[in-house]
Amino acid sequence: MSPAPLSEEEITKALTDLPGWTRTGDTIARTVEAASFLAGIELVRRVAVAAEAANHHPDIDIRWRRVTFTLSTHDAKGLTALDVALAHEIDRLHRQG
């Protein structure tokens, strides 16, 4: 069973706690810049471990040192608490360097 989609109000509130994340339709996304290409790849590896543990996987686009993470809960056809939680985890992992 998929989690319930967030309401517009819940999404707006969640985004106030997620600086750098933007919403486009049923997705939220953030692009971060790593110190080097290998640091970007390492961030993707750490996010992949967290995503596997949560059983919730982002779309990831890597362009040299720039890494874009896009989140949506496809089976809920919208944004859910899973997306918000993983966005916070991605931010935490990015801050760790």
Dihedral, CA of residue 22, residue 23, residue 27 and residue 32, to nearest 10: -10
Q: Using CA atoms, how far apart are residues 4 and 1, in angstroms rounded to an integer?
A: 9
> What is the chain's pLDDT, residue by residue, as a tens digit (97 residues)?
779 999 999 999 999 999 999 999 999 999 999 999 999 999 999 999 999 999 999 999 999 999 999 999 999 999 999 999 999 999 999 999 8
Task: Give the pLDDT confidence score for residue 19 in this predicted structure.
Answer: 97
Task: Give the pLDDT confidence score for residue 97 in this predicted structure.
Answer: 83
Return the CATH architecture of domain 8-96: 2-Layer Sandwich (3.30)
Task: Give the pLDDT confidence score for residue 52 in this predicted structure.
Answer: 98
* Extents of the domains making up the chain: 8-96
The sign one gets for the Cα dihedral 72, 76, 82, 84 is positive
